[in-house]
């Protein structure tokens, strides 16, 4: 039996990164607010990613609780109220979405393409993302590093996600991520890859049939 794909490029399913693709990067103002809440001396925002990302991989992998992560970031344990404030500010930084990408994904879903989210995200953020309308409407499933116990570019993360799509041939699954190392690891497993650089038309051309493309800007 010949399989007919809904994608112009023979893609039968999409594995989609969240942050940097569907999710927008935090603004400078958000970094500044977090710096103030964390009581870092200024000028801090340019240094904040390094300060936060040191233990972030372990946090994303579910190896650190919210309290343990922020204790490492701050150098001491925050009180319960302070922890809630930091957690809320951090979560808000990662929950804004790009409406241009959402529009493309809704069109792809409408023509029958299965969409699976594959994100490096801690447990709290995973729960917040799962509660969004776009997650419920668009995604066949969502896999998060904190629940898998491993982060991209660990090959096991891709293998779990590929199994979730139900597509046997990895060459018919498109993986989209803004990080080159994540794309490289996916390609080594045979998946198609798109290193996303912030241009929604690149994603659109991979996913949507010609007539849908021709009616969009």
8 Å CB contact between 60 and 151: yes
Helix (H, G, I), strand (E, B) or coil at 119: strand
Q: pLDDT category, 5, cuts 50, 70, 90?
A: low
The more confidently predicted of residues 90 and 1 is: 90
Q: Is the pLDDT of residue 194 over 90?
A: yes
Residues 76-95, mean pLDDT to the nearest whole number: 95
- The mean pLDDT of the chain is 89
Give the DSSP per-residue string, 29-89.
HHHHHHHHHHTPPSS-GGGHHHHHHTTHHHHHTTSS-HHHHHHHHHSSPPPHHHHHHHHHH
pLDDT at 36 (0 to 100)? 86
Confidence check: pLDDT of 20 > 60: yes
pLDDT exceeds 80 at position 157: yes
3-state SS class at 206: helix
- The answer, yes or no, to whether residue 2 has pLDDT greater than 50, is no
Q: Summarize the confidence of residues 84-108 as an average pLDDT.
A: 96
CATH superfamily placement of domain 13-24+96-214:
HAD superfamily/HAD-like (3.40.50.1000)
194 beta partners: 176
pLDDT tens-digit readout, 49-75: 566 778 999 999 999 999 999 999 888
| Residue pLDDT, tens place only, 30-47 | 888 888 898 876 655 556
């Amino acid at each position: 039996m010949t399989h007919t794909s809904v994608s112009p490029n023979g893609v039968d399913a999409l594995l989609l990164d969240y942050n940097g693709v569907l999710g927008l990067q935090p603004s400078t103002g958000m970094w500044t607010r977090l710096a103030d809440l964390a009581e870092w001396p200024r000028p801090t925002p340019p240094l904040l990613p390094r300060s936060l990302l040191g233990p972030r991989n372990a946090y994303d992998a579910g190896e650190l609780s919210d309290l343990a992560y922020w204790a490492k970031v701050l150098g001491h344990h925050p009180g319960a109220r302070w922890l809630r404030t930091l957690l809320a500010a951090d979560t808000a930084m990662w929950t804004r979405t790009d409406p241009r990408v959402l529009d493309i994904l809704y069109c792809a879903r409408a023509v029958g393409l299965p969409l699976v989210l594959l994100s490096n995200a801690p447990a709290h953020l995973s729960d917040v993302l799962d509660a969004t309308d776009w997650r419920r409407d668009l995604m066949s499933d969502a896999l998060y590093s904190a629940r898998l116990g491993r982060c991209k570019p660990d090959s096991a993360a891709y293998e779990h996600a590929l199994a979730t799509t139900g597509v046997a041939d990895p060459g018919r699954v498109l993986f989209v991520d803004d990080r080159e190392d994540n794309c490289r690891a996916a390609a080594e497993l045979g998946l198609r890859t798109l290193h996303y650089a912030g241009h929604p038309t690149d994603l659109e051309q991979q996913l949507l049939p010609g007539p849908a493309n021709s009616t969009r800007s």
